[in-house]
Structure 1
Amino acid sequence: MPSPIERWLPRLFKLGLLLLLGLGAWQCRDGWPVSANLMELVPQARADATRQLAEARVQEPLSRQLIALVAAPAGGDSAAAARQLAQRWQLSGLFATVQVDIGIDLADLRARLLANRLALLPAAQRRQLLADPAAYAQRRARELVDPFSSSGVVPVDQDLLGLARLAEQALRPGGAVRYDLDSGTLLAEHDGRAWVLVRATTRDDAFDSAAPARIAAQIASDRPALAAIGADLLVAGGPLYAAAGRSQAVAESGWIGGLAMAGIVLVLLLALRRWRALLALAPVAVGLLAGTVACVAVFGSIHVLTLVIGASLIGVAVDFPLHWLGKSYGMPDWRAWPALRRVLPGLTISLAASLVGYVALAFTPFPALTQTAVFSAAGLLAAYACTVCQLPAWMARFHPRPWPPLLRCAEAALRARERLADRRLALGIGGLLLAAITVGGIGRLNVQDDLRQWLSLPAPLLQQARQIGEITGITPTSQFFLVRAPDADELLRRQARVSQALDTLVAAGTLQTYDALSQRVTPQADQRDLAAALGDLATRPAAWRALTDIGVPFDALRRELLALAALPAVTIDAAVQGQAGERWRGLWLGQHDGEAAGMITLQGLRDPAALAAIAQTAPGVTLVDRSGELNRMFTATRIEAAELKLLSYIVAAALLCLTLGRAAAWRILAVPLAATACSLAALGYLGQPLTLFSLFGLLLVSAIGVDYAIFMYERIAGAAASLVGIVLGALTTLLSFGLLAASHTPAIANFGMAVALGVGFSLLWAPWIRPPRQA
Structure 2
Amino acid sequence: MSLWLAALLVCVWLVATQVTVSTDLDAFMPADGDAADLLSQLREGPAQRLILMGITGSREQTRATISAELAAGLTKTGLFTRVANGENLMDAGAQRLLFSHRYLLSPRVGARGTAPFDAESLREALESRLQELRSPVPVTDSSSLTADPTREFYAVLQSLSSGERPETRRGVWVSYDGARALLLAETKAAGLDLDAQGKVVKAIETAFSEVTANHQEARLELSGAPVFATVSQNTIRSTVTRLSTAASIATALILLLAYRSGLVLLLATVPLASAMLVAVVTASLVFGEIFGITLAFGMTLLGVAMDYPVHVFSHRRPDEPVDSTLRRVWPVLRLGVIST
Residues 43-58 of structure 1: matches in 2 within 5 Å?
43-47=29-33, 56=40
Is 2:52 aligned against 1:68? yes
Task: Note the residue ranges of structure 1 that are not aligned, 5 or more in a row.
Answer: 1-9, 128-152, 155-161, 355-775
What does 1:364-513 align with in structure 2 at a 5 Å threshold? none
Report the counterpart of residue 346 of structure 1 in structure 2: 332
Aligned counterpart in structure 1 of residue 160 of structure 2, from 171, 177, 180: 171
* Separation in 2, partners of 1:246, 1:292: 22
Deviation at 1:120, TM superposition (A): 1.3
Percent of matched pairs sharing the same residue: 24
**How far does residue 81 in structure 1 lie from its aligned partner after superposition?**
2.8
The answer on whether the counterparts of 1:67 and 1:198 sit within 8 Å (CA) in structure 2 is: yes
Question: What is the alpha-carbon distance in structure 2 between the residues aligned to residue 87 and residue 248 of structure 1?
Answer: 31
Distance 1:14 1:199 in 2: 50
- For each residue in 1:540-593, what CA deviation from the matched residue of structure 2 results, as whole angstroms up to 9, or x when unmatched? xxxxxxxxxxxxxxxxxxxxxxxxxxxxxxxxxxxxxxxxxxxxxxxxxxxxxx
In structure 2, relative to structure 1, the CA distance for the partners of 1:178 and 1:220 (3 Å cut) is closer
Task: Classify 1:211/1:123 alpha carbon distance in 2 versus 1 (closer, same or farther; 3 Å).
Answer: closer
CA distance in 1, matches of 2:104, 2:331: 83
Are positions 1:259 and 2:246 aligned together?
A: yes
- Map 1:620-631; keep pairs closer than 5 Å: none
TM superposition score normalised by structure 2: 0.66
- How far apart are 1:296 and its partner, in Å? 1.9
Distance 2:202 2:104 in 1: 47
| Map 1:214-613 → 2, pairs under 5 A | 214-221=199-206, 228=216, 230=218, 232-238=220-226, 240=227, 243-244=230-231, 247-248=234-235, 250-278=237-265, 279-313=267-301, 315-328=303-316, 331-354=317-340
Checking the alignment, whether the CA contact within 8 Å between 1:97 and 1:200 is kept in structure 2 is: yes
Name which structure has the greater RCO, CA cutoff 8 Å, separation 6+. 2
Q: Distance in 2 between matches of 1:117 and 1:45?
A: 30
> What's the C-alpha RMSD, in Å, of the aligned pairs?
4.8
Partners of 2:194 and 2:229 within 8 A in 1: no
1:95 match? 79
Report the equivalent of 1:385: none
Q: Report the Cα offset of residue 349 of structure 1.
A: 1.3
| Residue 71 (structure 2) aligns with | 86
Distance 1:122 1:47 in 2: 32
Q: Is the CA contact 1:257–1:311 (under 8 Å) kept in the aligned structure 2? A: no
Listed one character per residue, the Cα deviations across residues 708-730 of structure 1 (whole Å, up to 9, x for unaligned) are xxxxxxxxxxxxxxxxxxxxxxx
Which structure dedicates a bigger proportion of its chain to helix?
A: 1
State the Cα distance separating 1:345 from its structure 2 match. 1.2
Q: Counterpart in 2 of 1:14?
A: 5
Measured after TM superposition, the shift of residue 265 of structure 1 is 1.8
SS at match of 1:120: coil
Summarize deviations over 1:293-344 as a string: whole Å, max 9, x none.
233233333333334444445642211111111113xx34532011111111
Residue 123 and residue 76 in structure 1: after superposition, are their counterparts in 2 closer, same or farther (change >3 A)? Answer: farther
In the TM superposition, what is the alpha-carbon distance from 1:167 to its structure 2 partner?
Answer: 5.6
Distance 1:75 1:169, change over 3 A: farther
Once residues 297 and 267 of structure 1 are traced to their aligned partners in structure 2, the CA distance between those partners, rounded to angstroms, is 36
- 1:420-461 Cα offsets, whole Å, 9 max, x none, are xxxxxxxxxxxxxxxxxxxxxxxxxxxxxxxxxxxxxxxxxx
**Partner in structure 2 of residue 120 of structure 1:** 107
